[in-house]
Amino acid sequence: MGKRRELPEINAGSMADIAFLLLIFFLVTTTMDVDSGISRKLPPMPEENIETPEIHKRNIFVVLINKNNKVLCGIGSPKNMVEIDGNGTISSSLKEDVKEFVSNNGRNENSSENPEKAVVSLQNQEGTSYNMYIQVQNELTKAYNELRDVKANIDYGKDFDKLEVEEQKIVKKFYPMKVSEAETKAN
Amino acid sequence: MSKFKKGGGKSMPAISTASLPDIVFMLLFFFMVTTVMRETTLKVDVKSPEATEVKKMEKKSLVSYIYIGSPTKTQQSTFGTKARIQLNDVTFSRKEVGEIQNFINAERLAKDESEIPYMTTSIKADENVTMGIVTDVKQELRKVNALKINYSTRKSKEKN
């Protein structure tokens, strides 16, 4: 064998094209959906033979969504109608009522004794639409978030979101979110 | 008049494209790493309702999903249009809601025992379903003591 032939260099010019192709594939298939939602905790199944403790009427704020998606609310029993406009937006009076009820602190005899005892009972019927249910849940969450924001601003001079985890826990303890989701009433 | 075609002028050196593959590869790796491939194909239509007070879900590996909605077009010939519950790749009618217990137990077996208390169930229900089926699902979850739930919603703009 005589002189070794020099190996020709591999042309890397098309490397970019190949990489682009792969890049575009991943760009198209990527779904960047962030899961978000409203978190709740369900009550544990009631154990048999154990009486559930009675809660005084003044400490329960009942919100009822009936099968026609009408919302009724009130302390002790759902007696007031909540207005809903054509777009399905719930009037802010529901939120204000909840805030007033939770932060009553015994001032009004017919409203809650303190935020810790205040329970919001959310009831729905078989035919209630899920959308309406979520809208009401949203309003309830908003009421509590606003109360916590007020408390955080008084105590720490910051919004609730900007507090440290420990501070958030203290504020949460002051305004514990007690939303009871009762079983669907028949009909 | 040829202002631009001046012969003999200094010609611009060609910009080197040698680093182009590197840049593209960098982008490619970014997308490859961040991509999450959908594990389940949806057999029910789910359009989540909108809400403003949403929170991001943490620890995605500890979340089990329950989809509720009416069957997609291709499934309608078999299952009709009544709302169904999808767990993994199988759909169930409202009467078979008890399957949720098996589903949750299977999910728990796949996880470490110490992680079980932190497991969350995400309910992804269509905005048009009625609460009846959702309540049934919630009851089943209570029975297996899977109490942490999350109603999946889309974030909407603040409306007043």
| pLDDT on residue B76 | 84
Separation of alpha carbons A116 and B117, rounded Å = 25
pTM comes to: 0.76
Separation of alpha carbons B19 and B26, rounded Å = 11
Using one digit for the tens of pLDDT, what is the confidence trace for B83-103?
888 888 888 888 888 888 888
In a domain? residue B12: no
In a domain? residue B80: yes
| pLDDT on residue A33 | 64
In a domain? residue B140: yes
Separation of alpha carbons A64 and B68, rounded Å = 23
Question: Does residue B145 register a pLDDT over 80?
Answer: yes
Helix (H) or strand (E) holding A81: strand A80-82
Q: Is A141 on the interface with B (CB under 8 A)?
A: yes
| pLDDT on residue A56 | 78
pLDDT greater at residue A76 or residue B107: B107
In a domain? residue B35: no
Question: Does residue B159 register a pLDDT over 50?
Answer: no
| Pick among B123, B130, B138, B149 to test the A interface (most A CBs inside 10 A) | B130
Contacts with A35 (C-beta within 8 Å, 6 or more apart), sequence order? B56, B57, B60, B63, B122, B152
Using one digit for the tens of pLDDT, what is the confidence trace for B35-59?
766 667 788 888 888 888 888 877 7
What number is the average pLDDT over the span B126-148? Answer: 87
Question: Does residue B106 register a pLDDT over 70?
Answer: yes
| pLDDT on residue A34 | 67
Please list the ranges in chain A whose pLDDT falls under 70: 1-3, 31-34, 49-53, 86, 88, 183-187
A124, closest residue in chain B (CA to CA) = B131
Helix (H) or strand (E) holding B59: none
What token pair was written down for B54? 């949403």
Cβ atoms of residues B102 and B139 within 8 Å: no
Question: What are the phi and psi torsion angles at B158 (to 5°)?
Answer: -60, 125
Using one digit for the tens of pLDDT, what is the confidence trace for B119-131?
889 888 888 888 8
| CATH at B116 | 3.30.420.270
Q: Is A4 on the interface with B (CB under 8 A)?
A: no
- pLDDT band at residue B146 under the 50/70/90 scheme: confident
B68, closest residue in chain A (CA to CA) = A130
B34/A30 Cβ within 8 A:
yes
Please state the domain extents for chain A.
57-181
| pLDDT on residue B43 | 84
Task: Give Cα separations from A167 to A156, B25, B53 (angstroms).
Answer: 9, 44, 20
Burial class (CB in 10 A: 0-12, 13-18, 19+), A131: buried
In a domain? residue B44: no
How many structural domains does chain B have? 1
Name the residue among B51, B126, B148 with its Cβ closest to that of A41: B148
Structural domain boundaries, residue B117: 50-155
Separation of alpha carbons A84 and A138, rounded Å = 14
